[in-house]
Structure 1
Amino acid sequence: MGLFFNSWNDIGRIFILGVMGYIALVFLLRISGNRTLSKLNAFDFVVTIALGSTFGSLLLNRNVSLTEGVTALAVLIGLQYVVAWLTVKSDTVKRIIKNEPSLVYYNGKYIKDSMKRSRVVEEEIEQSVRNHGYANMEHIGAVILETDGSFSIISQSEKEGKEPDIIGLKV
């Protein structure tokens, strides 16, 4: 009908489905636990995006009923729960689903092979170091690209005089 307004009926539908869908989503997220919306790895990120897309479809697509939308949300959350559980129980599933952290800078040197595999450039590492409050790289002992895509910064003083002993990282 119109570019800016179709009908009050459509606005009412979106409002009612939005409120009811939101309540259902919060309920499903509460019973599934904190892990459902974590950002521990790429799989968790994909599930979060899929939940948002599904909720948006519920609100804006007239062909999707509340029951269908809530069912889709429950399926996504249920699958995320099952995959997270399998990841804890099976090393094979864990290797398939999760990335390993990558050491990209250590003792004043960029680790080019690791950076290339991770598709990271020096400027991104330096930006992350600045974001953590360091003016330059001289006080940085190590930079790790974590499984969620964030960088962990280990200051020189934290590892001074020691060989790398970074939890969960193969050097």
Structure 2
Amino acid sequence: MDTSYFFKNTDLIIESLIGTILIFILIVIYTRIFGLKSFSKMTGFDFVITVAIGSILGITINSGNPSVLLGAAILLILYGLNYAVTVLRYKSEKAEDLIDNNPLLLMENGEVIWENMKVSKVTEAELQSKLREANVIRLKQVKAVILETTGEISVLHTNDESIQVEDYIMDDVIRKK
């Protein structure tokens, strides 16, 4: 058996180890500087940045291309961009409206809003799956199903029919498209 297959590029092991440790430490430092929101998935933009950071981390430590230094610089740019957009969204309602999607109501009081399902391209099977995941047994338990800005689906339900969802919780949710 030819063992050279298993021992190719052994000279890169130390380089990869050092690069991985450096990038990991930088991510910890950047996260401490820019805050935990750097990894939140509160908006679609947050999700894109999180995926981009993971991608840069992966290719930098796996292939060395980009180099560790370039990977570190790209990570800093991504963290800085995320921070700048977060501050902009926080300070300007117009910027927030431009950057963020609004959540969309897919069900209300046990009734599916088919037009919103069609617009959002959420299938009936996906809706049913989320209802099961939330332990909904009867549709009349469902007060609201919302397609969030991140693409996740929230299910608000209760067995007490007299309980209504407070306006504050539904304030930014689009009811009809």
Fold match (TM-score > 0.5)? yes
Gaps of 5+ in 2: none
Given the two structures, how large is their TM-score scaled by the length of structure 1?
A: 0.88
**Aligned match of 2:151:** 149
Matches within 5 A, 1:22-171: 22-157=24-159, 160=162, 162=164, 165=167, 166-171=170-175
Rounded to whole Å, the distance in 1 between the matches of 2:160 and 2:101 is: 25
Note if contact 2:143-2:165 (Cα within 8 Å) is conserved in structure 1.
no
Percent identical: 32
Structure 1 stretch displaced more, 66-75 or 78-87:
66-75
Q: Could you say if the C-alpha distance between residues 139 and 157 of structure 1 is closer, same or farther in structure 2, counting changes exceeding 3 Å? A: same
Note if contact 1:126-1:137 (Cα within 8 Å) is conserved in structure 2.
no
What RMSD over aligned residues (CA atoms) do the two structures have, in Å? 2.1
Counterpart residue type for residue 114 of structure 2: K
Counterpart residue type for residue 155 of structure 2: I
Given the two structures, how large is their TM-score scaled by the length of structure 2?
A: 0.85
Gaps of 5+ in 1: none
Q: CA deviation at 1:61?
A: 3.1
**Aligned match of 1:8:** 10
Structure 1 stretch displaced more, 53-62 or 22-31:
53-62
Describe the SS at the equivalent of 1:8: coil
Q: Could you say if the C-alpha distance between residues 62 and 143 of structure 1 is closer, same or farther in structure 2, counting changes exceeding 3 Å? A: closer
Q: Could you say if the C-alpha distance between residues 24 and 106 of structure 1 is closer, same or farther in structure 2, counting changes exceeding 3 Å? A: same
Q: CA deviation at 1:156?
A: 4.5
Please give the per-residue CA displacement for 1:82-124, whole angstroms capped at 9, x wherever unaligned. 0111111122221221110111011222111111111112221
Q: Could you say if the C-alpha distance between residues 115 and 164 of structure 1 is closer, same or farther in structure 2, counting changes exceeding 3 Å? A: farther
Counterpart residue type for residue 19 of structure 1: I
Number of positions where the alignment pairs a residue of Structure 1 with one of Structure 2: 170
Q: Could you say if the C-alpha distance between residues 67 and 125 of structure 1 is closer, same or farther in structure 2, counting changes exceeding 3 Å? A: same
Note if contact 1:142-1:156 (Cα within 8 Å) is conserved in structure 2.
no
Describe the SS at the equivalent of 1:134: coil
